[in-house]
Amino acid sequence: MSLLSIERLSLSMHGIQILRDVSLSLEPGRILGLIGESGSGKTMTAFSVTRLLPRGSVLSGKILLAGTDTVTASESRMCALRGDMVGMVFQEPMTALNPLQTIGAQIAETLVLHKALSRRAAEAEARAVLDRVGLPEPEFPLTRYPHELSGGQRQRVVIAMAVACGPKLLIADEPTTALDVTTQAQILKLIRRLVDEDGMAALFITHDLAVVSDIADDVAIMQTGRVVEAGPTDEVFATQSHPYTRALFAASGHQPDRVAEVAPAPLLEVRGARRTYPGARRGLFGHHPPKVAVDDVSFTLHDGESLGLVGESGCGKSTLTRAILGLEPLQGGEIRLAGDRIDAAQGVPGAVRARMQVVFQDPYGSFNPRHKVSRLISEPFHLLDSPPTGADRRRAIDEALEAVGLSSGDAEKYAHEFSGGQRQRLAIARALIIKPALIVLDEAVSALDVRVRARILDLLADLGKAYKLSYLFISHDLHVVRRITDRVLVMQSGRIVEVGETEAVFRAPQHAYTRTLLAAAPHLPETVAGAGADASGGDI
């Protein structure tokens, strides 16, 4: 018997149709993967189950959760079901956790509300559930705050909150998108273990086909508010009967058409870079040992080259990137761009900064929402000695927009008027507008849907050839790094442990840590990946 049965569910918001006749079923002990692009209705389907919907929402159809129709249930009944019958794991744990409360207090609060436990009993239960999700004492006491944990550890706390009351259904909404591959593998293994041990059902929402292949028993593909294909994971992945399914698989294995034109002259030189942070305070007079974030790192990036930098969270990638961008001083070694030294302690001249630009993971967070696109993408002009004005300025803005596949008319819009993929194009246009030699891409495609990601990778390949750009591509997505880079650096605990041509490193890794990363990365079965790569069921 199904624990969750969704029958002909439709949802509209302020008269706009969001979901159309969605039907799904989920049995105890099984994981259902819900796949689709942004806007396909995945998250709104999950929110409909728990009735966490905005004002102006109108639901029709049936959602039977252990016999209760949540479409017609009272709000008091839904409050009892949330947390008790249904647990929710969100994509970004830092926004799901209260930064002012300890992790123990937040888990205990759930137990007090739903199980009416005393504070002491709730804290004891919180301790037990943290142990269960892999956060044992004494390393992870209840008194820790969210900011003291890594991204993967915070996600474990969110999972602990979700399963603390022993729910029958676990809903996980993109829980591993922002995690590195080894942490992602641990979280997927944890969810699978909890489902198997407790006999829960899990609804796993993601755009990553390889992740679903690893964890889900069944899969449903959503497009524009409808389920277009559903069934056991192996069958759906093998048959790919719907054109949209084939389009997703084709995009997932998409290889940009690029030819490396690497010049012998070095553009970026990093020599013996070292950066150490003081240890955190321990008691009144003691300190933990210093943290060595970057430890004697050396490498060269050549003119016209695309260089990948991979490693787990905390390995030093971000610290090294900030130093390259002149935002973080080094305590040893040096960094040079086209022969000019970059030293944050001494200040970096605007002319040097103008030769390198950066594209961040979240473009919306890096844009001022009050400014129009014309102002946003022209921000780098302040680095020029003689920034263009008047008609020349407008011409440069139009050229940058058109180079990334947008139109000159978009200059008068605001960032919120664009989709996620379009905002990333705006971020690339901003980096491109002063024609730098080097663009640093910091997780620039990790949060994008597979088809949007394929388009952005094609765009980067085309721009690299047209403008003779060099790229430093920082990512935890090993599949993307393999497709877009010429060489790759593997970083562990502040050191570069392996470097080489990308394909050679991926085919025959020499270092044990590189082999661990590659083994942890989710993979589509080769037969499935090959079928998807040949599919033509959509525009990518």
Report CA-CA distances (Å) from 274 to 22, 270, 292, 320, 492.
55, 10, 8, 9, 14
Beta-ladder partners of 488: 308, 500
- Note down pLDDT in tens along the chain; length 540 residues: 689 999 999 999 988 999 999 999 999 999 999 999 888 899 899 999 999 998 889 999 999 998 899 999 999 999 888 888 999 998 778 788 999 999 999 999 989 988 888 999 999 999 999 998 889 888 889 999 998 887 788 889 999 999 999 899 999 998 887 778 888 888 899 999 999 998 999 999 998 898 999 899 999 999 999 999 999 999 999 999 999 999 999 998 888 988 777 888 899 999 999 999 887 667 667 777 888 889 999 999 999 999 999 998 878 888 999 999 999 999 999 999 999 999 998 889 999 999 999 998 777 778 899 999 999 999 999 999 899 999 999 999 999 999 998 999 999 999 888 877 788 899 999 999 999 999 999 888 877 888 888 888 999 999 998 888 999 999 888 888 999 999 999 999 999 999 999 999 999 999 999 999 999 888 887 655 545 444 333 333
Give the pTM. 0.83
Q: Say if strands 201-206 and 31-35 run parallel, antiparallel, or are unpaired.
A: parallel
Please report, for the chain, the start and end positions of each structural domain, with discontinuous segments joined by +: 4-252
Token digits of residue 428: 């690339």
DSSP 253-322: T----------SSEEEEEEEEEEEEPPPEETTTEEPPPEEEEEEEEEEEETT-EEEEE--TTSSHHHHHH
The rounded distance, in Å, linking the Cα atoms of 165 and 171 is: 14
CATH ID of 4-252, from 3.40.1190.20, 3.40.50.720, 3.40.50.300, 3.40.50.2000: 3.40.50.300
